[in-house]
Amino acid sequence: MKKIILTLFALLTITFVIKAQQQVNRCGTTEYTDRMKANDPSMQQRMNEIEHNLEVWMANHPTYNMKYIITIPVVVHVVYNTAAQNISDDQIRSQIDVLNEDYNRRNADTIHTPDCFKPLAGSMPINFCLASRDPQGNWTNGIVRVQTNVPCFSDDAVKYDTAGGSNIWDPNTYCNIWVCNECGDVLGYGTYPGGGPTSDGVVSHVLAFGRGANYNLLNHYNLGRTTTHEVGHWLNLYHPWGQGGGGGCTDSDDCFNTPYQDGPTYGCPSGPQISCNNGPCGNMYEVYMDYTDDACMNMFATCEINRMVATLNGTRQLLLNSNGCLLNDIPDIANIRNFSIMPNPANEKLTIEITLDKLGDINYSLVNILGDVVFQNSIGMEMGGKYEISTRSLPAGIYSLRLNTAKESITRKVVIIH
């Protein structure tokens, strides 16, 4: 009897987990695009023209040499309502790492690509980089942070500062990614080429952006593949079952080497999933454009790579001339983001914390009221850190702590007591 109860409990638990996974809307691109087309009747015609030009380009470049690396400057708009949603720079950089690994097929889990599909897996010579130059030509770290009173966003409100979001950077120069708390159960969506110029880009849920056990991410969507998927849409890729919701085995993703399949794949299957007479290999659910868990995605098909390369040589070709990641001749701007001192007043030691936006030559000194330098330290080229100054042997009194970089100087008053 006890075994029966435990078995029933296990089955109920498994059923609950499966339902919970399926209730998450892996991607809202199809529904979003339908709404955009309803509001803009000319959008479908533009998309048809883009598709035609894409196919012509691929036909004229059957053996396109992809030895040249394509650089895509990325700006990440972090729109946060709570402190937890204001994700760290490290979490953002982890997502950029995922994009570069997945698109170049340098991801460690390529070993899980089934033998059936390994000959069909492709890599793309692309480098996603956080922008180092903003639209005005000044230095940036590629991250825009906007605090909002909007608890969650639906559709494109996050893309406009008048609606509590963050305005787009020139989409011909940058790939715009917005990270926010999305309303409902949508993990993300992307815009196809041909959409509106003020809304072009990718939106990712803050709980599915980046990779790492140290970040607050959903269990099945913690490897950064939501953004990999949505950037795929931005580069004109469709879901493997086509542009609709699936079913009927009649729609296609316009890729010759991805099998027809009858709809999305959820969870993390083991073994072939047969549909639309596509045996023995079954659905190519390992591609990033399906709906499987992050851990079960590990490839783009070569045809998908060809479509993305054609897109970057067609409707998104202006990105190829972007200088968004060039460091040369950027005007100097403030680089010191944080300079804090603890405790103050101090007794036996001071701890100073320094954070720079880019590498800088850090020097700091402690000067007494007479102007004498009583302590000095040169860190060299660093982004900052925490540093200690022993004040045990210094007379009590008022001092100045000076922080110098190559172009900046900041002074803080320090009181030493004993």
Report the catalytic residues: 230
- Report the alpha-carbon angle 192-250-274, nearest 5: 100
Of the candidates 3, 12, 37, which has an alpha carbon nearest to the alpha carbon of residue 243?
37
Contacts of range 157-165, beta carbons closer than 8 Å, 24 or more positions apart: 158/77, 158/79, 158/203, 159/77, 159/198, 159/199, 159/201, 159/203, 160/198, 164/79, 165/77, 165/79
Alpha-carbon distance of 310 to 237, in angstroms, equals 11
Other CB atoms closer than 10 Å to residue 185's CB: what's the count?
A: 11
Alpha-carbon distance of 113 to 117, in angstroms, equals 7
Joined together, the tokens standing for residue 164 give 């509590």
| Location of structure tokens 């691929």 | 58
Q: How many residues does the chain have?
A: 418
Instruction: Print burial letters for 242-264: b (CB count within 10 Å at least 16), e (below 16).
Output: bbeebeebebebbbeebbbbbbb
Strand-strand pairing, 70-80 and 175-180: parallel
| Location of structure tokens 């007794």 | 347
Alpha-carbon distance of 91 to 73, in angstroms, equals 17
Identity of the residue numbered 95: Q
Other CB atoms closer than 10 Å to residue 198's CB: what's the count?
A: 12
